[in-house]
């Protein structure tokens, strides 16, 4: 990736953030802010597709803001804001809706997957990719970090940008995906992808006793203590690698393959690494929780900066489509 790209990413305030969120989205996003122009938003409009209770949504938005800042997001380097504070994105969403084929949305696997999980088939859930496209396109984003589960939505974004440009002239920046180790799947306590919907998460800022209990109850196979074990098929080892150095990872791998170590020992090693890793973040989080006005000022300033960019893009779009 060339230097100084404009990068766009968002995170939904759908519940307590876990280490899957951190390693798959937050950590790579924080690393990208050093050499790029980053726009990161709290996707509160997207969260409405699940019709959360208003009080719960407001609490989750505040929690995501605090947790992201505690983990190292730098508001001096990054535009950090609430999605809903940039109302221009909803106008662009409508304009994009008017060039979006219904069949394009019907083919999106995310909609089908959520229906299969029992979520209500509301229009917001169906047209989610169009709002996502507007999020990306309104900031002239060059690069969007995506996991495999969001790759199709970025393809929809690119399709809509090209459709608009073909119909109205070169107006919108066509973004490129950033896919790699930064968005690898993080296994949960049961070995599936870590997800709140599976109830298999380890929270970034969970209570010590509860997090120890979760880790010590992680699912493993029934290989006896004395027998060699395969680290590459063990979700405990997979999580340990995320926190440990190469030398520490190699040392644990040897303990697995030599035999004589029970899974309980590996789990304890994982817990110690996890707890020590997030210790400085917990201290920073406590400071932020004690100063909510500071966090709000960061979000308001981010919203102002984001609106400045969105205004310019929407001015071009409105001119192209014939609006005053």
Of the given ranges (65-69, 136-140, 182-186), which has the lowest mean pLDDT?
182-186
Please say if the pLDDT value at position 131 is more than 90: yes
Please say if the pLDDT value at position 18 is more than 50: yes
Residue 183: the pLDDT is: 46
17: DSSP letter: -
Residue in 27, 112, 117, 196 annotated catalytic: 196
Top-level CATH class of 6-185+292-321? alpha beta
> What phi, psi does 78 have (nearest 5°)?
-125, 140
Alpha helices, H only, the chain: 19-21, 27-32, 44-47, 54-70, 88-97, 102-106, 109-116, 123-126, 128-137, 151-168, 208-216, 235-243, 246-258, 263-277, 279-289, 292-321
The pLDDT confidence band at residue 112, using thresholds 50, 70 and 90, is confident
Q: Which residues contact 279 (CB under 8 A, 6 or more apart)?
A: none
Distance CA 172, CA 139 (A): 9
Is 273 catalytic? The answer is no
The pLDDT confidence band at residue 249, using thresholds 50, 70 and 90, is very high
Residue 15: the pLDDT is: 86
Is 214 catalytic? The answer is no
Calculate the average pLDDT of the chain. 93
Residue 283 CB coordination number (10 Å): 10
Architecture of domain 206-277: Orthogonal Bundle (1.10)
Residue 3: the pLDDT is: 60
Is 117 catalytic? The answer is no
Distance CA 261, CA 117 (A): 39
pTM of this structure? 0.92
Of the given ranges (28-42, 120-134, 169-183, 225-239), which has the lowest mean pLDDT?
169-183
Q: Taking residues 263-283, report their average pLDDT.
A: 98
Residue in 27, 114, 117, 214 annotated catalytic: 114
Residue in 27, 53, 117, 193 annotated catalytic: 193
Residue 125: the pLDDT is: 87
Please say if the pLDDT value at position 190 is more than 70: yes
Q: Taking residues 177-205, report their average pLDDT.
A: 85
25, two tokens: 């989205």
Task: Give the closest residue to 79 by CA, choosing from 7, 157, 128, 135.
Answer: 7
Please say if the pLDDT value at position 13 is more than 50: yes
Please say if the pLDDT value at position 87 is more than 50: yes
Please say if the pLDDT value at position 50 is more than 90: no
Q: Taking residues 245-250, report their average pLDDT.
A: 98
Question: Which sequence spans correspond to the domains of the chain?
Answer: 6-185+292-321, 206-277
Give first-to-last CA distance, the chain, whole Å.
38
Q: Taking residues 102-119, report their average pLDDT.
A: 81
Residue 266: the pLDDT is: 98
């Amino acid at each position: 990736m060339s230097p100084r790209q404009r990068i766009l990413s968002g995170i939904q305030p759908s519940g307590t953030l876990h280490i899957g969120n951190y390693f798959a989205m937050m950590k790579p996003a924080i690393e990208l802010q050093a050499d790029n122009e980053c726009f990161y938003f709290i996707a509160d409009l997207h969260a409405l597709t699940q019709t959360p209770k208003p009080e719960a949504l407001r609490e989750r938005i505040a929690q995501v803001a605090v947790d992201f800042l505690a983990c190292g997001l730098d508001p001096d380097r990054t535009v950090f804001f609430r999605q809903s504070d940039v109302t221009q994105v909803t106008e662009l969403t409508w304009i994009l809706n008017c060039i979006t084929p219904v069949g394009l949305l019907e083919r999106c696997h995310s909609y089908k997957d959520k229906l299969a999980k029992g979520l209500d088939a509301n229009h917001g859930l169906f047209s989610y990719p169009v709002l996502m496209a507007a999020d990306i396109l309104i900031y002239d984003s060059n690069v969007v970090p995506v996991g495999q589960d969001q790759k199709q939505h970025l393809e929809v974004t690119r399709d809509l940008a090209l459709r608009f440009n073909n119909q109205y002239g070169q107006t919108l920046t066509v973004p490129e995906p950033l896919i790699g180790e930064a968005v690898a799947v993080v296994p949960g306590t049961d070995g599936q992808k870590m997800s709140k919907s599976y109830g298999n998460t380890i929270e970034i800022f969970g209570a010590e006793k509860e997090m120890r209990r979760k880790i010590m109850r992680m699912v493993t196979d029934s290989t006896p203590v004395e027998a060699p074990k395969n680290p590459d098929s063990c979700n405990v080892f997979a999580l340990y690698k995320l926190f440990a150095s190469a030398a520490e990872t190699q040392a644990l791998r040897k303990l697995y393959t030599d035999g004589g170590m029970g899974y309980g020992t590996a789990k304890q090693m994982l817990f110690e690494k996890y707890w020590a890793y997030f210790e400085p973040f917990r201290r920073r989080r406590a400071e932020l929780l004690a100063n909510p006005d500071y966090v709000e000022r960061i979000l308001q300033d981010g919203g102002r900066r984001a609106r400045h960019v969105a205004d310019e893009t929407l001015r071009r779009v409105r001119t192209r489509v014939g609006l005053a």
